[in-house]
Amino acid sequence: MSARIAKLPHLPHVPADQEDEDGDEDSEAADSLGSLPGSGMGPPAMPAVTQRVREQKPPNPAFAPISASGFFADAFQVSVPSIELDARVYYTPPVVPPGRSPSSTSVMVCHHGAGSSALSFACFAREVTDLTKGECGVLAIDARRHGKTTSSGSDENLSIDILSSDLCALLGKLFPDPKASPTIVLVGHSMGGAVVVRACPLLLASGYKIVGVAVLDVVEGTAIEALPHMNSLLNARPDGFASVEDAVEWHLKTKAIHNPTSARISVPSIIVPSPSSHTRSTGINYIWRTPLRSTAPYWSEWFTNLSSLFLATRTARLLVLAGTDRLDKPLTIGQMQGKFQMEVIPATGHHLHEDDPTRLAEILVEFWRRNDRVVTGVKKVGEL
């Protein structure tokens, strides 16, 4: 952390007579460390100004929510009684050529990070559809306690085993016959990376054809090192927001998300209306759907052994990072031995799939096309 502080740019002095009402908020946000790189712990933590009742201001239409209907073909709930979940799914299915079976197609299955939602993959999904002309589908899910997924029982447990079994059970519900299922590319961001790495061998054992596993901006070593600092960083996050537009604006101004279009789609799904009593006392109308602090008991187990499990996965492996300084020792050795493909997307933050969905789609489509050819017994779309 000391090294990162030293790298922060010098902030110019602003005379007191030039500061406006929000001057303290802006200067504090600019001076924040944000999230530790590669920590896998969600968006940056910025100094909160929500401890006092704030003057309500009209919502800014520039930050108004955008519907995901133009980014996914379908959005629906999937009941999975075995895990007591009614899971929210966003899906653009692959195009099945005449005379071919669904098993000849492919789908990228996307799992979001802690505190986020499936809609963080909305812009990416449309890019994949456009690049492949519908040849490769995209499926994104809301994990338990996230987005619009609900539970008929207790959904407090976010252990890695529960999250991994949730993903396997949901895919089993959507594609009940592994032999007739499309080939699958597992894509996981942050916490979702840990989930897909652990779910992959379970799905392979069940007979599903896994083309590859892609992990987005999470590295075990960096994540574990960041854990002691997470509570102090989370202390600085806002408790909530005056409006949905206010939440979108905060994510963009603090660089938690760089892409305004993606923020306007994804941020509304990670907040919920606050209790009326809370609103009256604080002026906060929306609170976090999944407060990151509530997931603290599971942080360590999410990331412990992630590197070794990733390297041992019996499929093609891809690691996409927002910076080159994020590899731990096992991954550094594995990269030198050619055990996985690594790509870096510059000028992005932790939510690289939102910040630059075009470049990520290009990387993953190329990864899928190359490795889909080597899946035994699977013919590519268009082949005889």
Catalytic residues: 190, 217, 350
How distant, in Å, are the alpha carbons of 145, 196, 368 from that of 83?
A: 13, 17, 30
∠ CA(208), CA(305), CA(235), 5° rounding? Answer: 110
Q: Are 199 and 164 in contact (CB under 8 A)?
A: yes
The token duo for 241 is: 């927001």
In a 3-state reduction of DSSP, which class is residue 147?
Answer: coil
* Residues in the chain, total: 384
**Among 271, 296, 253, which residue's Cα sits nearest to residue 47?**
253
| DSSP secondary structure of 167-204 | HHHHHHHHS--TTTSPEEEEEEETHHHHHHHHHHHHHH
Q: Are 47 and 28 in contact (CB under 8 A)?
A: yes
Torsion angles phi and psi, residue 45, rounded to 5: -95, 125
In a 3-state reduction of DSSP, which class is residue 112?
Answer: coil
In a 3-state reduction of DSSP, which class is residue 111?
Answer: strand
Q: Are 108 and 122 in contact (CB under 8 A)?
A: no
Q: Are 44 and 34 in contact (CB under 8 A)?
A: yes
